[in-house]
Structure 1
Amino acid sequence: MTVNVTLNNPGASTFILVGFPGNKNVQVLYFIIFLLIYLFTLLGNIILLLTLKAESNLHTPMYFFLSNLAVLEIGYTSVTVPKLLEISLGKEGAISFPACFMQTYFFFFLGSTECFLFAVMAYDRYLAICHPLRYSTLMCNRVCIFLSLGSWITGFINPCPPVIVLSRLHYCDNIINHFFCDCVPLLSLSCSNTYVLSTAIFVSSFVIVLGTFLLIMLSYACILVTLLRMSSATNRQKAFSTCSAHLTVVLLFYGTVIFMYVSPTPQQTMEINKVVSFIYSVVTPMLNPIVYSLRNENVKKGLKRLMLRKFYPTSRTT
């Protein structure tokens, strides 16, 4: 049922999130899958954080930025999945206007911050591999904190103007064919002129997503050249293993985000958009701790020592 709504109308106070289609049995299956993914994401990132905190040899710039990423992923997935679980339980996906726009804001705040953090992590690897003798000077504690805070603050500021404008539009319908309050389906519901806002969101996404992605690719191009010049196969393999973990996560995240927000192709159907959004907002945060743990020997050793101290406190590990 279509409901004429506007933010200036006190009688219309909610949007309705549709979620993923399916009968009752399918929705139960969705709920189980989404819950397992969410719990695995929380557990994986929390364990990664505990490992990085407990192991003194992991108190380096690379793992400091990885800790920031783990914290971010916990928040990022928590913005959308709890409401998705509620919808999958068969409850009406009602969400108030303020809650909807707060969800939009935090989603893009954390998403923008993730782009900047990925770029910072690539820059860190570039300095470590291409300028190893100057690395400790160039990436000192002060610089690490500055780059980390800069990522969070820039990500915090970036979505403010578009979300404020989005919240002041008039809406002709309150049925959002999505599992969270994304800007694309919200704009499609508005009966206001959204050309300027749509263009501004596209330009912002283009600059942030493609800008940070190009910086990451440039960093890894320099890294690749340096790796090919290394005479030691052991050092080359160690550096490649560390960088490949980061690059795997980056390509998965950016591939789906570029498809969704800065693709030059015509607008995809909302069903395709929901699947793509699910990959970068729910699946990627789950895979991050797995990829970084499996592809990084230092993290694997630290995790093993953490588990041994937890379950065998009297044992000695090396």
Structure 2
Amino acid sequence: MEAQNDTKISEFLLLGISEEPELQPLIFGLFFSMYLVTVTGNLLIILTTISDPHLHMPMYFFLSNLSFVDICFTSTTVPKMLVNIQMESKVITYAGCIIQIYFFALFVGLDNFLLAVMAYDRFVAICHPLHYTLLMSPRLCGFLVLASWVTSALHSLLHSLMVLRLSFCTGLEIPHFFCEPNQVVHRACSDTFLNDLVVYVAAVLLAGGPLGGILYSYSKIVSSIRAISSAQGKYRAFSTCASHLSVVSLFYCTLLGVYLSSSIAQNAHSSATASVMYTVVTPMLNPFIYSLRNKDIKSALKKLFENL
């Protein structure tokens, strides 16, 4: 018999990273600092790519979109956590939790798709340099970003609707600092088989697809770089995708590490702590990775500060 949504609850309790009262000021200060760095760093990347005409290229167009998504991604979870710590409250409303699940899934999906699009951009630039301008036209770049948004929005809507069908009776405490979808689903007192099935199918299609595209792109990139005769040419070609490769490695390693370890770990709070890596730390480090490893970004940032 199909489960009906007869939910009577109005709120969940987010237990956060730690329930120790003496650690709350430290956690607040740490997360507030990381949030400020994340927003500031990614805003600087966006302003730099917009203000410098030399950066009006597909590579930096996708980078500015990634920076915007990273700001939104962190803003989905961290501000609510900071407010709860400051007000000494653990409450998030039922509606607020569903909204948080929606935007969390949306921005995780967008990160995933944009990294795949950026890998394709590097593939075209290195493997088909003579046709780069033709292949990576402004129209195609806009379509790729729009398709990423639409696909991610539909995926996150599906996740939210799947949670709405569940009934919650007891166990409303979520051992996390935000409404992590897996934690919320498994607090339900109705059957979650369909939810789990949808999550696994979506993970294979919407995470495995872009990851497969990234791996394929870099396999072709490596082959093209190996075919270059001069060492300087190889270095120049590799340097154009080194930043993106670093971001991809950081994002997928932390994301996969969290979800693989969470299936083994018995302590739910350890999973929440590990989730900080891809929800907060990775968006914070992305601007540094791109600015420190990219001469064009560093030069544009210098000009931006000089004009302020």
User: Displaced runs of 4+ in structure 1, greater than 4 A?
Assistant: none
Shift of 1:277: 1.5
- Judge conservation of contact 1:86–1:93 (CA < 8 Å) in 2: no
The residue number in structure 2 matching 1:174 is: 172
The count of residues paired between Structure 1 and Structure 2 equals 303
1:268-283 correspondence to structure 2 within 5 Å: 268-269=265-266, 270-283=268-281
Structure 2 residue identity aligned to 1:193: D
Query: Which residue is equivalent to 2:105?
Result: 108
Flag the structure with higher helix content.
2
- Asked if 2 retains the 8 angstrom alpha-carbon contact of 1:209 and 1:258, the reply is no
What residue number does 2:131 align with?
134
2:58 aligned with 1:64: no
- After superposition, give the CA deviation of every residue in 1:171-206 in whole Å (9 maximum; x if it has no partner): 122111111111111122111010121121122123
Deviations 1:264-304 (A, max 9, x none): 98443312321222110111000010000001111011111
1:230 alignment partner in structure 2? 228
What residue number does 1:33 align with? 30
**Residue 147 (structure 2) aligns with:** 150
Equivalent AA in structure 1 for residue 217 of structure 2 = S
Residue by residue over 1:31-76, the C-alpha shift from the partner in whole angstroms, topping out at 9 and shown as x without a partner, is 1110000000000001111111111010000000001001101100
Structure 1 match to 2:42: 45
What is the distance in 2 between the residues matched to 1:253 and 1:292? 14
Distance 1:267 1:108 in 2: 23
1:85 counterpart = 2:58: no
Counterpart of 2:77, as a letter, is T
Letter in 2 for 1:213: L
Deviations 1:95-139 (A, max 9, x none): 111110000010001111111100000000000000000111110
CA distance in 2 between counterparts of 1:259 and 1:196 reads 25
Percent sequence identity is 39
Give the Cα separation in 1 of the matches to 2:263 and 2:280. 25
Deviation sequence 1:214-250 (CA, Å, 0-9, x none):
2111111111111122234333223222211111111
Q: Distance in 1 between matches of 2:33 and 2:240?
A: 28
Q: TM-score, normalised by structure 1?
A: 0.91
Distance in 1 between residues matched to 2:219 and 2:73, nearest whole Å = 29
Determine the C-alpha separation between the residues in 2 that align with 1:273 and 1:205. Answer: 19
Deviation at 1:9, TM superposition (A): 5.1
User: Secondary structure of the residue that 1:293 maps to in structure 2?
Assistant: helix
* TM-score, scaled to structure 2: 0.93
Counterpart amino acid of 1:304? K
Deviates more, 1:208-217 or 1:134-143: 208-217
Please tell me whether the aligned partners of residues 69 and 114 of structure 1 are also in contact (alpha carbons under 8 angstroms): yes
Q: Does 2:118 align with 1:125?
A: no
**SS of match in other structure, 2:129:** coil
Question: Structure 2: how far apart are the matches of 1:23 and 1:99?
Answer: 25
Moved more, 68-77 or 183-192: 183-192
The structure-2 alpha-carbon separation of the partners of 1:55 and 1:234, relative to structure 1 and needing over 3 Å to count, comes to: farther
- Let me know the Cα RMSD of the aligned residues: 1.8
Distance in 2 between the 1:7 and 1:13 partners?
13
State the secondary structure of the residue aligned to 2:13.
strand
